[in-house]
Amino acid sequence: MENIGTVYLVGAGPGDPDLLTLRAARLLQSARLIVHDGLVDPAILAMARGDAVLISVAKQRSKHTVPQEEINALLIREALAGRDVVRLKGGDPFIFGRGGEEVEDCRAAGVPVVVVPGISAANGAAAAAQIALTHRDAASIVSFVAGQCKGLSEQDWAGLAGKGRTLVIYMGVKTAPQIAEKLMADGLAPDMPVAIIENAARPEMRVLRGVLAGLPDLVADEQVVSPALIVIGEVTARTNIQLAHIAQEATA
């Protein structure tokens, strides 16, 4: 057991290196082996020590360069060989990051695991766009869903969005038409405000606003690409309202 390494499951946050936790930054700067996702910003990878080995296991929708089972096996193999491994994931490892699967397999193989949480994509994107996911006047419930999961049309999303609720959709760019259709079929008003946050917390970030019925056209017309989050709910319109008030006061 003394020769077994530890797998550190580390959240890289939404992209900006300044949003890393102190522990994540220390691990990056000391690690000799880093296994990272494709969405980890190059500026974060640049923090690694000069002699560190970086292994990319980047994933694309419906196409994995390295299947999840092989990633798990890689982590276990390296740890059993006595090497510590930093497994670096965008956002937080336990929010749509498959971190749970990696922990389970490592523990089953007798490999110790340490989880270092990161700022989730939802929290980071909302903060960067100044969209409060909860607000006393608009929302007291927040739900996170995956927009490209299997059986999307069969899932019951009724009650996830609407009055007093905020819905955050990960990985929903490609399925925006189905998402809008499904939510409206489940009773959500076509004029419910929505926002798309692309490349959150990065210099090239864009925040696009519209309504639910126009979500597919907004994605297509603006050529939105991943990484991007879709936020649905009254909170997405509040920033525009506040800016309008400020502009009116400035010209009064």
DSSP letters spanning 150-166: TTGGGS--TTSSBTEEE
Q: Which has the closest alpha carbon to 101: 128, 69, 64?
A: 69
Question: For every one of its 252 residues, what pLDDT tens digit does the chain have, with 9 covering 90 and above?
Answer: 569 999 999 999 998 999 999 999 999 999 999 999 988 999 999 999 999 999 999 876 555 578 999 999 999 999 999 999 999 999 999 999 999 999 999 999 999 999 999 999 999 999 999 999 999 999 999 999 998 766 666 777 878 888 999 999 999 999 999 999 999 988 899 999 999 999 998 889 999 999 999 999 999 999 999 889 999 999 999 865 444 333 344 444
CA dihedral 81, 92, 153, 134 (to 10 degrees): 170
> What's the rounded Cα separation, in Å, for the pair 137 and 247?
22
Contact 19, 201 (CB under 8 A): yes
> What's the rounded Cα separation, in Å, for the pair 198 and 206?
5
Query: For position 114, what pLDDT does the model report?
Result: 98
User: Measured at the alpha carbon of residue 132, what is the angle toward residues 130 and 133, in degrees to the nearest 5?
Assistant: 130
SS3 assignment, position 118: coil
- Which residues, listed in sequence order, are joined to residue 36 by a DSSP beta bridge? 56, 88
Give the global pTM.
0.86
Question: What average pLDDT does the structure give for the chain?
Answer: 90
Active-site residue (options: 16, 41, 51, 59): 59
> Active-site residue 217, yes or no?
no
> Active-site residue 191, yes or no?
no
- Reported as a single tens digit per residue, the pLDDT across 143-175 is 999 987 666 667 778 788 889 999 999 999 999
Active-site residue (options: 16, 37, 41, 105): 37
Contact 110, 140 (CB under 8 A): no
Helices 99-108 and 68-80 cross at an angle (nearest 10°) of 40
> What's the rounded Cα separation, in Å, for the pair 26 and 127?
24
Helix (H) or strand (E) holding 43: helix 42-45
